[in-house]
């Protein structure tokens, strides 16, 4: 498993410009610690908006304290937690609490989080409709295929009257109790959803992938989560590292007024601070 993860990491990082490869040959310890460099923090991020927030708001604060920040970009939702568990990075910033909890339960990882940073309201998008009320009978709706985001998407559809679902945290299509439009739910990798908009009636897309796909959540979404959503994105770390000085410094920087201002000024409500 470890060798295969390192090969995938190598491929992911090789294809990404401006990414610093960390941890190779560290034998299960983060690159910074393997060298005894307590002032190095390797952070795994999704491309948008996490990378921008780290590089433009969090990283400068840490560098002013003498830390070297290595930003490692991932293009999926699987490798960042595997890399963190295996010590290839010191922290990651790409996921919300329910996703982390589901991963920990499924894979028995010893990971936790230190703080919530921002909320990316999930939205419903379409290239065929201008209003949710115009959904056709038998329409196909694409949602993320991971348990936490899939449940989140179904709850958003239910909130907007498309379906009804039973109560529960990780609901699935099997929990739909009323489907008056006879819609078909198609589950896909979250990063694929912007690319299939032309092929489906609706797609429920995470904001980071919506932004990456050129969509503006505030202008393009037919429906969007409210700011009361519990799905704030977090700084995840190995549980054993939570009290380390560099992790505390990262947590403080991630919840600073500088980060709050950066999020508010640059995303204009499409992304909101979660602290």
Give CA–CA dist 106/20, Å, rounded: 29
Q: 167-221 pLDDT, tens per residue?
A: 998 999 999 999 999 999 999 999 999 999 999 999 999 998 998 899 999 899 9
Question: Strands 176-178, 164-165: parallel, antiparallel or unpaired by DSSP?
Answer: antiparallel
Contact in structure between 194 and 215 (CB atoms under 8 Å): yes
Per-residue CA distances from 191 to 84, 90, 100, 211 (Å): 20, 24, 18, 11
Number of domains in the chain: 2
Same domain, 85 and 192: no
Same domain, 263 and 198: no
Same domain, 184 and 168: yes
Range of the domain at 236: 2-121+230-273
Count helices and strands in the chain by DSSP H and E runs: 11, 13
Same domain, 115 and 174: no
Same domain, 10 and 117: yes
Same domain, 82 and 142: no
Q: 19-58 pLDDT, tens per residue?
A: 333 333 333 444 444 445 589 999 999 998 999 999 999 9
Same domain, 195 and 114: no
pTM, whole model, 2 decimals?
0.73
Same domain, 203 and 70: no
**pLDDT in the model for residue 5:** 46
Same domain, 140 and 200: yes
- What percentage of the chain has pLDDT greater than the value 70? 87
For 155-181, the DSSP string reads HHHHHTTS-EE-S-SS--GGGEEE-TT
Q: 225-245 pLDDT, tens per residue?
A: 987 788 999 999 999 999 999
Same domain, 114 and 236: yes
Give CA–CA dist 38/156, Å, rounded: 43
pLDDT band of residue 268 (cuts 50, 70, 90) is confident
Residue 11 above 50 pLDDT? no
């Amino acid at each position: 498993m470890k060798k295969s993860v390192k090969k995938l990491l190598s491929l992911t990082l090789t294809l990404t410009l401006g990414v610093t490869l960390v941890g190779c040959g560290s034998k299960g310890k983060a690159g910074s610690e393997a060298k005894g460099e307590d002032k190095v923090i390797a952070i795994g991020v999704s491309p948008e908006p996490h990378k921008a927030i780290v590089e433009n708001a969090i990283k400068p604060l840490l560098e002013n304290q003498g830390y070297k920040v290595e930003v490692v970009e991932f293009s999926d939702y699987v490798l960042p937690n595997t890399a963190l568990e295996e010590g290839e990075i010191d922290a990651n910033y790409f996921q919300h609490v329910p996703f982390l909890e589901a991963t920990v339960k499924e894979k028995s990882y010893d990971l936790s989080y230190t703080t919530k940073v921002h909320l990316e309201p999930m939205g419903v998008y379409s290239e065929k409709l201008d209003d949710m009320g115009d959904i056709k009978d038998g329409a196909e709706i694409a949602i993320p295929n991971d348990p936490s985001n899939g449940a989140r998407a179904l709850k958003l559809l239910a909130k907007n009257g498309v379906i009804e679902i039973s109560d529960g945290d990780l609901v699935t299509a099997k929990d739909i109790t009323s489907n008056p439009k006879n819609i078909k739910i198609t589950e896909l990798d979250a990063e694929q959803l912007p690319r299939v908009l032309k092929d489906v009636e609706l797609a429920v897309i995470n904001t980071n992938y919506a932004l990456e796909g050129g969509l503006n959540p505030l202008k393009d979404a037919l429906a969007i989560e409210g700011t009361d959503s519990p799905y704030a994105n977090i700084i995840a770390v190995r549980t054993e590292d939570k009290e380390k000085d560099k992790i505390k410094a990262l947590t403080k920087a991630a919840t600073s007024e500088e980060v709050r201002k950066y999020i508010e000024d640059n995303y204009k409500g499409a992304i909101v601070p979660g602290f």
